[in-house]
Structures are given as C-alpha cells and as structure tokens.
Amino acid sequence: MAVQKTVDLRIPKTRKPRLGNIPQTIKGPRDLRLMVEPERLSIGPGEPPPGFVTATTSASEWIAYWASAVVFHDPPDPRRPPYFGGRDWGYQKSLDGGRREQGGAVIDYIYWLPGETIGMRLQTARFHDAAGPEKEAMDRAQLVALSWQWGITIKDLDEQDIIADRTGEAAVRRLVELLGGRERINPGVAGTYRPVRANSI
C-alpha cells in the first residue's frame, strides 16, 4: 500500500509587504530604494508640529524632514522634538559658525551615507527660486564652498516638487531619487518654475 503525501497548496499568511528597510550593507547612495511602509505614506506629514517652524525654519522644511524620517525610519516619531534629525541624517547643521559667522553656512539636511556625505538644500520660491540673481549667486558660492571645503555633495530639492502633495509620497520619492543620484534641472534655469501652494493637489 502506497502512502500518499498531501501537499498544502495554500498561500501562507504573512505580514503586509513592506517596501523594505534600509539594508545594513549600503555601499552607496544608489543602493537606496524606496523604503517606506505604505501605511506611513498614506498618513502624510500634515501640518508642522508645534515648535518646528521658527524664525529660521519653514513649513516646507517640515515636509522634507518628515520624508527623511520615513525613509531612514529615524526618529521613530518625527513629530516629537527635538528636531535634529536621526542617526544617519541631520537637520539644520551649522558649519563654520553657521549664521553667526561670515562665511558660515547652515545645511538644511545632511545625510551620512557610506562613502559619501550629501547635503540637501530645500530651494523655496520665496528665498531661492524667485529671489533674484544676487541670491542665486550666493547659493552657487555656498554650493562650491561646501563641496570644496567640506567634501559634501550638495543637492537641491525644489519646494515645488513636494509641497502640493498632501500624502507626502512625492517628498519621499524625490528624496530617494536625490540620495540615489538622480537630479533634476533647476526650475529657474530650465524655465519650468511655477508657484505652488501647499496642499493644492
């Protein structure tokens, strides 16, 4: 008498699929993938928490701060102060004395990736894109100085790419693209600048 084996063809129940965590062996920025739990993306950044917006920070920066926390899973609750960033990234980092010293700079966001340090500047319409040639020249000089003096790769995130999306998905995707090496042409240079209001989509 032959013994029959039964095979269980049911699909095993598993946890909801995640889009991934940051692997412990990142070799460079191109190894980054969209590493976000769909549930967290659907919540979105919302309004900035109390104390985030100050005389030197903005509500637009909150969106990129929230996206950084989502991508790096740190801090676990970005809405709770202090707003310094996470273990592998920082927010409002002063270099050469920051705003207090001539020639000093404050980088909006800095990411310490293996083999590369990336500084990200949030380019807003008010202070950068439509601020005129003098401000554009200052931004370019800062980019050169930070790259040359500190060895930081500077990348710009345009406010118009993230501000209108209430879900925060655009901010997360754009951040992952920037950290992975994909840049876009400055909208002021390309002639594609358009004023966008927050949460207009």
Q: Identify the CA nearest to 64 among candidates 35, 92, 37.
A: 92
CATH architecture of the region 29-190 = 3-Layer(aba) Sandwich (3.40)
**Strand order of the sheet with strand 89-95?**
89-95, 105-113, 116-123, 153-158
Q: How distant is the alpha carbon of residue 72 from its chain centre?
A: 10
pLDDT in tens, 167-176: 999 999 999 9
Structure-token pair, residue 92: 């409002």
pLDDT in tens, 86-143: 999 999 998 877 778 877 788 999 999 999 999 999 987 655 455 567 777 777 787 7
- For residues 163 and 196, is the Cβ–Cβ distance under 8 A? yes
- For residues 105 and 98, is the Cβ–Cβ distance under 8 A? yes
Report field, pTM of the whole predicted structure over 0.85 = no
